[in-house]
Amino acid sequence: MTTKQLIFSSFTQFKNLKEARQTPFWKSILYLLALSVIMALPISFQVFQVLDNIKTDGQQIAKKIPDFEIKDGQLDAHGAEGFIYQTNSIIFTFDPDGKRSEHDISTDLMGNFISVGMLKDQMVIALPNSGTTTSLLGSNEMTLNYSNEALADLNGQQMREVLANSTIPFWIKAVTFIITIYPSFLNLLITLTIASFAGYIYARLRLTRATFLDCLKTMIYAITLPTLLSTVILIFVPTFDTSIFITLVGLFIFIQASKGWPRFQLPKQ
CB atoms closer than 10 angstroms to residue 167: 7
Residue 97's nearest CA partner among 115, 72, 79, 71 is 79
Q: Which residues of 215-225 are buried (b: 16+ CB within 10 A; e: fewer)?
A: bbbbbbbbbbb
Q: Is the pLDDT at 134 greater than 90, yes or no?
A: no
Structure confidence at residue 113 as a pLDDT band (50, 70, 90): confident
CA dist 35 → 17, 130, 187, 229 (Å): 17, 27, 11, 12
What's the pLDDT score for residue 132?
Answer: 42
Query: What percent of the chain has pLDDT above 70?
Result: 92
Contact criterion met (CB below 8 Å) for 9 and 260: no
* pLDDT tens-place string over residues 225-234: 999 999 999 8
* pLDDT tens-place string over residues 161-219: 888 877 777 887 888 888 888 888 999 999 999 999 999 999 888 888 888 999 999 99
DSSP string for residues in 119-141: -SSEEEEE----HHHHHHHSSSE
Q: Is the pLDDT at 139 greater than 70, yes or no?
A: no
Q: For residue 84, what are the β-bridge partners?
A: 93
CA dist 229 → 42, 48, 103, 166 (Å): 12, 21, 45, 36
CA dist 183 → 1, 48, 179, 222 (Å): 31, 16, 8, 21
What's the pLDDT score for residue 234?
Answer: 86
Q: For residue 88, what are the β-bridge partners?
A: none
Contact criterion met (CB below 8 Å) for 92 and 61: yes
Q: For residue 117, what are the β-bridge partners?
A: 93, 124
Give the dihedral sign, CA 84/85/91/95: negative
pTM above 0.85, yes or no: no
| Between 45 and 221, the higher pLDDT residue | 221
Q: In which element (H, E) is residue 75 found?
A: strand 74-76
Residue 47, C-beta contacts closer than 8 angstroms, at least 6 positions apart: 176, 180
What's the rounded Cα separation, in Å, for the pair 173 and 40? 13
Q: For residue 125, what are the β-bridge partners?
A: 116, 142
